[in-house]
Amino acid sequence: MEIEILCTKLIKPCLPTPPHLQRYKLSFFDQISEKEHVPTVHFYANNNFINNSTIDDRIEQSLSKILTHVYPAAERYDKDECISYTKAKVNCKLNNFLKKTRKNLSLAALFWPHENKNIDKTNFMVSPIVTAQVTVFECGGVTVSLSGSHPATDDFSDFKFLFEWIKVCRFQTSVEKINFLSFNLGNIFPTRDISGLFKSTYIPSIHQDIIVKKFVVREAAMSRLRKKCIDEACGALTFQPSRVEIITALLWRAFISASAIINGYVRPSLMEFPLNLRSKSSLSQLNNSMGEF
């Protein structure tokens, strides 16, 4: 399976960004987030709802419309820019590819935006906030991949962007009716001096292969795991652990054990768990805010 890059171009918003919106204000949560690009890939079968001869134009035009609303995506941190858009094709059919991913999920990473390879992770001030790639299969199926810079977007923002982009492409929504994100997070939670809060530690960049695997835990096995957790807690566990909590604890214990074997001692460990706080907040104006929250 080979992916051929057909072209990479800059897509501009279909309307100029107003002067008062040309500087996007980051929030405190953006300020303390990890400095990395996080890609997502979505696969769409060819359902013939769009004429294949016009699909390329429809995709690019809809992206240009979306950028008029999501104006920060068309910027870099230090200047006004366009979004990097890559068009590619792959020499296989979507169904055949999906069968292969059942044994090797890492194949999905082949469809990440090609331009991510050129991002300077040591200088995010000149990095694009969003990159995009559309890859077409031989059968007419399509993958749409979006990669967002974590100091400015989170998974919620990226998914909203991607889903609305597809909707605008399919239904050809007019620019005036595109309004699905708000950009108020920097006003509600402004940036601050964090020099006294966090100790700056240099973490060297390590380039290594990433192995992706899928583990399926059946309901019967999950019930046994839950019962074992409760029994071994000897009354200390006062709640019914969820499936996510059980699997997370199981994996974390395995990682700690493996680390102890490799290093010869148990090292301190820290686990980060992503959570969308919008639905947890009493502030309704945060429900559709772009950014890290």
Task: Sketch the domain layout of the chain as residue ranges.
Answer: 3-196, 219-277
Who contacts 249 (Cβ-Cβ below 8 Å, separation ≥6)? 229, 241
Average pLDDT score over the chain: 84
| Other beta carbons less than 10 A from residue 268's beta carbon | 5
What the block records as the tokens of 144 is 């749409």
Q: What is the structure's pLDDT at 49?
A: 58
Weakest-pLDDT range from 11-25, 177-191, 202-216: 202-216
Cα 60 from Cα 252, distance rounded (Å): 43
C-alpha–C-alpha distance, residues 213 and 79, integer Å: 39
The model's pLDDT over 52-88, given as tens digits with 9 standing for 90+, comes to: 667 888 889 999 999 989 988 877 644 556 888 999 9
Superfamily of domain 3-196: Chloramphenicol acetyltransferase-like domain (3.30.559.10)
Quick: pLDDT tens for 239-280. 888 998 889 888 898 999 999 999 999 998 888 888 899 988
pLDDT at residue 46 above 80?
Answer: yes
> Does the CA dihedral 155-161-162-164 come out positive or negative?
positive
- pLDDT value at residue 250: 87
- Is residue 256 classed as helix, strand or coil in its secondary structure? helix
What is the sign of the dihedral through the CA atoms of 64, 288, 164 and 108? Answer: positive
> Rounded to the nearest 5°, which phi and psi values hold at 270?
-135, 130
Helix (H) / strand (E) element for 5: namely: strand 3-11
pLDDT score at 184 = 92
Report which residue type is found at 11. I
Q: What is the pLDDT of residues 101-155, one digit of tens each?
A: 888 888 888 898 887 776 666 665 667 788 899 999 998 899 999 988 888 889 8
